[in-house]
Every structure is written in structure tokens, then in C-alpha cells.
């Protein structure tokens, strides 16, 4: 699977700003520092159909009905820093979607582990038997 670079995707990302509720006090009330990235996966020309379905299955909960992936960043006082953070988030999300998960190999307990478990059960049983009243 090819790695889609963030510089290619940047052309298709719509950036908007808003007033954020992050740190900054009165400064926040008058400056738009929150950055919202909208990347329409459905209408992307860069991604193949297979890549689109992989992203949908991995991050379907973060997408709108129209197929837009929305990322927001409002942790910093600077719009530029928030923009950088938002693009890093987008890059991480896309990278995470394309990582193949390793299949779990079921294993059996070792002979020593089985023996130890049975010995522990026997000891526990003996302890309980000693506590019983004699007949």
C-alpha cells in the first residue's frame, strides 16, 4: 500500500477558523485561533477506492454522512500552531488507518504451566479437606 503524503492531501483539505475556548483569556474572545480541517474522503482524487474504504472502516465514526473527515485543533493561542497540530493529527489518522494489524496466533499452555495449575488445585483441595469435620 502506497503512503499518501500530507502535502498531496493538503490541496484537497478545506481549512476554516473559528473562535476557540482554549487558553488565552480575553484574547480568545476576539481572535479566531481554532482551526477546523475538512478532508472529503469520498470526493478525493488522490486516494484510490481501496484506500477510501480502508479510511472509512478505520475512522467511520469521525466522518460525516457526506464522507468528510473533520479534524479540529484549538489547544494553542496561535492559529499557525493550531494549523500545524491539525495537519499532524490528520497525518497520524491516515497513517494509523493504513497500518496492518497482526493476526493473533492462538497458543496452548505449556506442559509446565498445566502441571503447575493442577498442583495448585490439589494443594487447595487438600487445604479444604483438612478444614472439614471428621466423620
Instruction: Say what the pLDDT of residue 24 is.
Output: 65
The span from the CA of 63 to the CA of 55, in Å, is: 10
Residue 127 is assigned to a structural domain of this protein: no
Picking from 47, 100, 102, the residue whose alpha carbon sits closest to that of residue 69 is 47
22 pLDDT band (50/70/90 cuts)? Answer: low
DSSP notation for 101-134: PPPP---PPPHHHHHHHHHHHHHHHHHHHHHSPP
Cα dihedral sign, 58-60-66-68: negative
Query: Global pTM?
Result: 0.68
Residue 15 is assigned to a structural domain of this protein: yes
Residue 88 is assigned to a structural domain of this protein: yes
Tell me the pLDDT of the chain averaged across its residues: 87
Q: How many domains does the chain have?
A: 1
Instruction: Say what the pLDDT of residue 75 is.
Output: 85
The end-to-end CA distance of the chain, in Å, is: 73
| Domain ranges, residue 60 | 6-97
The model's pLDDT over 70-101, given as tens digits with 9 standing for 90+, comes to 999 988 888 899 999 999 999 998 888 888 88
Residue 63 is assigned to a structural domain of this protein: yes
Instruction: Say what the pLDDT of residue 117 is.
Output: 97
Residue 21 is assigned to a structural domain of this protein: yes
Residue 128 is assigned to a structural domain of this protein: no
At residue 30, does pLDDT exceed 90? no
3 pLDDT band (50/70/90 cuts)? Answer: low
Stretch among 2-6, 79-83, 118-122, 128-132 having the lowest mean pLDDT: 2-6
CB 28 within 8 A of CB 22: yes
Residue 75 is assigned to a structural domain of this protein: yes
CATH number at residue 41: 3.30.160.20
Instruction: Say what the pLDDT of residue 89 is.
Output: 92
Residue 1 is assigned to a structural domain of this protein: no
Span 96-123, mean pLDDT? 93
Amino acid at each position: 500500500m502506497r503512503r499518501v503524503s500530507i502535502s498531496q492531501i493538503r490541496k484537497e483539505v478545506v481549512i476554516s477558523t473559528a473562535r476557540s475556548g482554549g487558553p488565552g483569556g480575553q484574547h480568545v474572545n476576539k481572535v479566531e485561533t481554532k482551526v477546523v480541517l475538512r478532508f472529503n474522503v469520498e470526493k478525493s482524487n488522490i486516494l484510490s477506492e481501496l484506500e477510501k474504504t480502508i479510511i472509512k472502516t478505520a475512522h467511520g465514526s469521525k466522518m460525516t454522512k457526506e464522507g468528510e473527515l473533520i479534524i479540529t485543533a484549538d489547544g494553542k493561542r496561535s492559529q499557525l500552531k493550531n494549523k500545524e497540530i491539525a495537519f499532524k493529527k490528520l497525518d497520524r489518522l491516515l497513517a494509523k488507518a493504513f497500518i496492518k494489524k497482526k493476526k493473533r496466533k492462538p497458543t496452548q499452555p505449556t506442559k509446565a504451566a498445566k502441571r503447575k495449575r493442577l498442583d495448585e488445585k490439589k494443594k487447595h483441595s487438600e487445604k479444604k479437606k483438612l478444614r472439614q469435620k471428621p466423620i
